[in-house]
A and B are shown apart, each in its own frame.
Chain A
Amino acid sequence: DAKTTQPPSMDCAEGRAANLPCNHSTISGNEYVYWYRQIHSQGPQYIIHGLKNNETNEMASLIITEDRKSSTLILPHATLRDTAVYYCIVRGVQGGSEKLVFGKGTKLTVNP
């Protein structure tokens, strides 16, 4: 079963920041938080991942709370092409055999 809880849907205005929350209250100390997104009828696309510290890349920022029980994915300037289902996934560090288990995700709709 997925170890994360996300709101089923969110809306955001184009050009504004999109903040997508994720709860992972049972996360273990050696588990990473991964974010992927899936645009309709395509394979999931990697966005970002982190363990304890906040992370930023060219796509997004990941803010992880100090107790690690929740995180927020931030898309700083959302565009229409960011409309997708966003998945927050917790994954251990046992190596490549550790599977990714997807929850239901958040459907983000970016409006003009």
Chain B
Amino acid sequence: GAVVSQHPSRVICKSGTSVKIECRSLDFQATTMFWYRQFPKKSLMLMATSNEGSKATYEQGVEKDKFLINHASLTLSTLTVTSAHPEDSSFYICSAWDARPLSYGYTFGSGTRLTVV
């Protein structure tokens, strides 16, 4: 099966600092990964699509300079929340597309709980 590892699972940071979240596909190569955020009792909201070796595609209303995405290899995408503020506190989840035959396609990481104080 496809496994996606997301790290860290929880992080607390001070306002104004930056936080990096990693998303790794452990047993497959992922040319495309997706980043979501989720507020309490709400659904997942897609932030951006990350493509290996090219710039990410951001959804409308998502600040690309604030949420930096890097997909430098076929197994790793990172999301950096820059100059974090308390309103950035949320649950961030990544997903990777598994293009192998017989795969069901999308595997999600276990999420990162970000708290900005």
Q: Which A residues are closer than 8 A to B by beta carbons?
A: 34, 36, 38, 41-46, 49, 87, 95-97, 99-105
Complex Cα spacing A11 to B91, Å: 26
Chain B, 44-61, CB within 8 A of any chain A CB: 44-46, 49, 51
Question: By the criterion CB–CB under 8 Å, are B43 and A96 in contact?
Answer: no
A-B interface, 3 closest residue pairs, ranked by CB to CB distance from nearest: A96-B97, A43-B108, A102-B44
8 Å CB contact of B49 from A42, A45, A97, A104: A97
In the complex, whether B93 has a CB less than 8 A from a CB of chain A is: yes
| Contact partners of B36 in chain A: CB under 8 A | 102
Instruction: Find the B residue at minimum CB distance from A47.
Output: B104
Q: Contacts A100-B34, A102-B44: A41 and B91 contacting too (C-beta < 8 A)?
A: yes
| Contact partners of B107 in chain A: CB under 8 A | 46
Question: Which of B12-20, B62-70, B79-87, B109-117 is near enough to bind chain A?
Answer: B109-117
- Please give the distance in Å from A86's CB to the nearest CB on chain B: 12
Q: Contacts A96-B32, A104-B43, A105-B43: A41 and B111 contacting too (C-beta < 8 A)?
A: yes
| Contact partners of B51 in chain A: CB under 8 A | 97
Question: By the criterion CB–CB under 8 Å, are A44 and B43 in contact?
Answer: no
In the complex, whether B105 has a CB less than 8 A from a CB of chain A is: yes
Question: By the criterion CB–CB under 8 Å, are B109 and A43 in contact?
Answer: yes
Question: By the criterion CB–CB under 8 Å, are B111 and A46 in contact?
Answer: no
Question: By the criterion CB–CB under 8 Å, are B113 and A45 in contact?
Answer: no
21 examples of A-B residue contacts, CB within 8 angstroms: A34-B105, A34-B106, A41-B111, A42-B110, A43-B4, A43-B93, A43-B109, A43-B111, A44-B108, A87-B43, A96-B31, A96-B99, A96-B105, A97-B32, A97-B97, A100-B34, A100-B95, A102-B36, A102-B43, A102-B46, A104-B43
